[in-house]
Structure 1
């Protein structure tokens, strides 16, 4: 490291967005410093549990009581972390935050961020999503439309590899797909039932997942998915997309990348005379040394809430309340998706069928409400989709207190009956008073203010949650499935792990933080391309959209740089 060097660009964060910013900027010839607050994770070399089995752990993968306390907020999600992946999730005791209202903030501080542990579901937005705010008079209008982002969706999908099936739906545009994974017999039964028994266009398809599914030489050393379903441990084959296996190595191959882990960025430095950012201030996570690095462009990709926190801490004479926060828009309009609710059922028959191997993917039922007059609901606006799947129960349901001897031995060798479940993912509206601020009293171990969340679901969300359960039951019932039940676990925003907003895009600097190119209205050489820029939430998984906007913004920045706009 040369501390007095002026880099062409600094990228903060190495996850989904940071990896793409690094790749695009480096490939455009810029000299780029990438800063990550967590430790180094090298592809393959640092996937220390990638080949472990459950019997390699004393508690069969479950956390000890001591570890459960360390991850007490991360464990709210219900399925993470376990012993084999706990090193990819933050220790809540070491990284606290405040909750005026409950907010489940799931984080991963390491090179690669949550690109190592994401669900890999990859869906495009449509103009139904980009136009909704304007048509309904909600919040502010997006300054872009689908046609602006479509070429960048093409670029991203072609590079990361997304398996899926073309459907021709206006609410879920088709993309560039690898061969789809297969549905099993019960999922096909539900698929057929939906097409026959509903006239509102609802259908079931295999999930669109960022997994390479065919042998090809197009992915720079990455191989096809091996269906091990050990994705979160890090895939040594590169079968699923992560920054570590894909975009960061691409940036490194250019010779223009400098990567510095253990670097906690807490401030973007502002030069009022030039009206530009000049770099960032960091604290070394290991030594607590304070350093400053200089650049002509800054990309904030630290994850949505972290990037908002950095901007809130970036105070100056012009920006006493945080960089770009002249009109009190920074930290507001925080969103997530509904999660942890849906319906499940038992399925008779198909006992002569099973499925082969492990499929790191599920089924998807795209949004089918509030798309036109025929599907319009009077009780809420926007929509939802479902993810889920079917399987045969394992031997454990066969074990009862009365089972013993020969009968028990025979029973545990047989799979149980079929079950199917559908989990709803619904859109949350952007509310001005759903916000994150800097705590005035609480600081972390580096002396930085903790984030304080004051975010909640409101009436539209709660009415939508009821509809998600009702429609889930209706679909399972129409298919003739039995013992149908619903679930709606106690939750709050954040648990969907799709937290977004806080530095939204818009046309008017008085009502938004960023312009259509992801630049701060007030400081144009600062770009924000993680989930913080989102103006609304749609109901589909957002990571593909983050990547598309990041690629677009990075190429815009490179063009501006070459035109000497950031001199």
Structure 2
């Protein structure tokens, strides 16, 4: 699969180069390859083969040396990554070492960076929700940021396209601002959740509680088996039961015979030909030898993740683009967003003591946004949705108990009360001052400048968070739960791992980096279809939107190539 072609420029030439192999990069490669283009996919991470390299996927905790815990050495190598709980001994080889490729902070930002083919498609949370015109029209109606250059009707067919291939399980609910999609049968709520659903929807007319829409199969697709309810998704799924590059888009691209995959390839910058007035290729650093080489193509898709793609654009300077390629507007790097969360409530119930559930369902439930929808008006703009979970407490509750003897042992041998939690995911407004820049005073292990992050949640988000925990508590109390406790823990940008913005879409090249087809306004053979393209964040999980935008952009790119417009 690896094709270095070091000796001749002609042999380094492809129809398309895709930078990054994660959720959007995999889609770019699949779509372009299936349309007949010869595609080079460049990935800075190491090879990770489907099934074979998921070495901990079937191991019990006691079969791993430290039972999933991190050593002091691992913590030292990952000073930023250990802030959140995505990095464990079970998947530690999937992540980039912060010490090799650091970043600097003016304000705290938690950036989780993978180091594997497939990127975060292996470890993602799999939430797959559509945006609606409530989201696409919010900026223009409220005078915030700039208007999206597209509307729901423009992307709806592409949501259909990617959902049918990826496999999204969920329940149609007929909610205008959370459009239904092409769903596999939904996973089933347990008895406790069904009771809570009924009570919440009765007490709060207009609110809905539904099973979460997730990229976990409930019916097989091709070689991919249905979910086994093991809830070990972040280790890699040997059944192919959730959507990832390895299980889904990469095999489809490889099947065409049109893909060349090169891991361990760090894209340094884009090559711009001032005579031709367009990009002609990319400069790549070999991760191990640190040698620079060049690859050439007619079109370039940047899918390295929002911040990494922005780094490539910023680091691509020339006489024509002294501030980074495509940055005529000066907005490149600005308007960085992430969702804020860690605010909600939890409680317990004594009902259904004779009931339990089967397996470990990998999806919770969802309460879609209801604030600033219709006639509801709040002191802040936009809104939030809730992800929720429930379970019965087990033997580990004894850690907090003082007990000894047979009676205590018998107590711990049976499940404890039902527990439920609701946690809000809130929209962050696009603020110009929330930005990323190049810090030339610090270099990574390959001699490149690093990114400096300067981002914070502001008063609008803080006001929203007051409702996020208060509304959660009110719903749980109305549902009859006991000991309901609201919570509002710290939430910093990056923690939700939904970073987006920094190369936004917009109609006017004076205020946006990308046009309505995700093309760089001033270099139209460069497409950016990962999170960097987002003009606002909405409050829904964004990955499904990246997939749809990528497939849409790839279709447009091939049509433009055939018209000789690129």
TM-score bin, normalised by smaller chain: over 0.9
What residue is the counterpart of 2:58 in the other structure?
51
1:80 corresponds, among 82, 86, 100, to 86
Q: Which residue matches 1:265? A: 267
| 1:398–1:416 Cα contact (<8 Å) kept | no
**Pair 1:357-2:359 in alignment:** yes
Give, in angstroms, the shift of residue 71 of structure 1: 2.3
Specify the SS of the correspondent of 1:72. coil
Q: Which runs of 5+ in 1 are unaligned?
A: none
Aligned pair partner of 1:64 in 71, 75, 78? 71
Q: Secondary structure of 1:334's partner?
A: coil
CA distance in 1, matches of 2:342, 2:99: 25
The Cα shift of 1:564 comes to: 2.0
Which residue number in structure 2 is paired with residue 237 of structure 1?
239
State the 1:80 CA deviation.
2.0
> What secondary structure, in the 3-state scheme, does the structure 1 residue paired with 2:469 have?
helix
- 1:230 deviates by 1.2
Which has the higher mean CA deviation after the structures are superposed, 535-544 or 67-76? 67-76
Aligned with 1:438: secondary structure? strand
1:565 CA displacement: 2.1
Cα displacement string for residues 495-526 of structure 1 (whole angstroms, at most 9, x for unaligned residues): 01000000000000000000000000000000
Matched, 1:214 2:219: yes
- Asked if structure 2 preserves the Cα contact closer than 8 Å seen for 1:364 and 1:386, the reply is yes
1:195 aligned to 2:201? yes
Mean Cα deviation higher: 476-485 or 142-151 = 476-485
Residue pair 1:342, 1:421 contacting (<8 A) in 2 also: yes
Shift of 1:76: 1.5
Count residues with an aligned counterpart.
559
User: 1:165-314 to 2 correspondence within 5 Å?
Assistant: 165-199=171-205, 201-215=206-220, 219-314=221-316
**Structure 2 unaligned residues grouped into runs of 5+:** none
1:347-386, aligned counterparts within 5 Å?
A: 347-373=349-375, 375-377=376-378, 379-386=379-386
Conserved in 2, the CA contact under 8 Å of 1:73 and 1:105? yes
Give SS of 1:282's match: strand
Question: What CA deviation, in whole Å up to 9, does each residue of 1:278-334 have, x standing for no partner?
Answer: 000010001111100011100000000000010000000010010011121100000
Q: What SS is found at the alignment partner of 1:502?
A: coil
SS of the residue corresponding to residue 335 of structure 1 reads: coil
Post-superposition offset of 1:400: 5.8
Decide whether the 8 Å contact of 1:347 with 1:417 is kept in 2: yes
Alpha-carbon distance, 1:401 to partner: 5.7
User: Which residue is 1:449 aligned to?
Assistant: 449
Give 1:409 shift: 2.2
Residue aligning to 1:463: 463
**Shift in Å, 1:372:** 1.3
Give the drift of 1:402. 4.2
- Which residue is equivalent to 1:505? 505
The alpha carbon displacement at 1:96 in A equals 0.7
Q: Deviations over 1:243-285 (max 9, x none)?
A: 0111011001000000000000010000111111000001000
Q: In structure 1, what is the equivalent of residue 519 of structure 2?
A: 519
- CA distance, structure 2, for counterparts of residue 289 and residue 249 of structure 1: 30
